[in-house]
Amino acid sequence: MSEQLSATDWLDAGLKALAASGVVALKADPLAKALGVSRGSFYWHFRDVEAFQTAVLARWRDIATERIIANVEKHADAAQGVEYLLRGAFAARSDLEVAVRSWATHDAAARKTVREIDQRRMTYIEALLERAGIAAETARARAKILYWAFLGFELSDKPLPGKERDRLIEELVRVGGTHG
């Protein structure tokens, strides 16, 4: 690979390494070797490993939350938004979600980011429910239930077969109360 890597190239490689090996993989040397470039390329874009890790967390926020929210907004109306979101969220478990949450158990910056993401996601689900006609207090409770179900799924070590996953989503949509 060329020495002309962008910061995004490094961040995407960092997310991949984080998902595969945890936070210990977020260092210039192993990433440079994996990308086939020198460490100088890393330091061209990032002051140090701490700055890189901060940027990795921001990239995770964008990919794992903001892009998903934008996609729901683009493709689903208020009544179908929760179901669309749940179908996407439960499509496959994310090793990256688990890795970031593991990192957050011993790192204050990662913990802060995870808390912010959790709040952002729950607030968004709550807003979807309210737009679908659910009263604010009820929407808040249901948003937590739906989000906690998602987290349980993400942190479990057993994948759900398609039919079982579909039944689960149907029940969660029913819990959300947005239709049917």
The angle, 0 to 180 degrees and rounded to 10, between the axes of the packed helices 162-176 and 78-89 is 150
* Phi, psi at 34, each rounded to 5°: -65, -35
Residue 1 clears pLDDT 80, i.e. is over it: no
Residue at token pair 């249901």: 142
Higher pLDDT, residue 175 or 179: 175
Residue 170 domain-assigned? yes
Residue 124 clears pLDDT 70, i.e. is over it: yes
pLDDT in tens, 43-60: 999 999 999 999 999 999
Residue 1 domain-assigned? no
User: Among 69, 116, 114, which residue's Cα sits nearest to residue 89?
Assistant: 69
Q: What is the CATH number of the domain that holds 70?
A: 1.10.357.10
| Residue 2: pLDDT band with limits 50, 70, 90 | very low
135-163 burial code (b ≥16 CB/10 A, e <16): eeeebbebbeebbebbeebbeeeeebeee
Q: Look at the chain and report how many structural domains it folds into.
A: 1
Residue 107 domain-assigned? yes
- Residue 77: give the domain boundaries: 7-176
Residue 137 domain-assigned? yes
pTM: 0.89
> CA 70, CA 58: separation in Å to the nearest integer?
16
Residue 141 domain-assigned? yes
Residue 8 clears pLDDT 90, i.e. is over it: yes
Tokens of 46: 């990032």
What's the pLDDT at 146?
95
Residue 36 clears pLDDT 80, i.e. is over it: yes
What's the pLDDT at 160?
80
R_g (Cα) of the chain, nearest Å: 18
pLDDT in tens, 64-123: 999 999 999 999 887 799 999 998 888 877 899 999 999 999 999 999 999 999 999 999
Residue 2 domain-assigned? no
What's the pLDDT at 180?
45
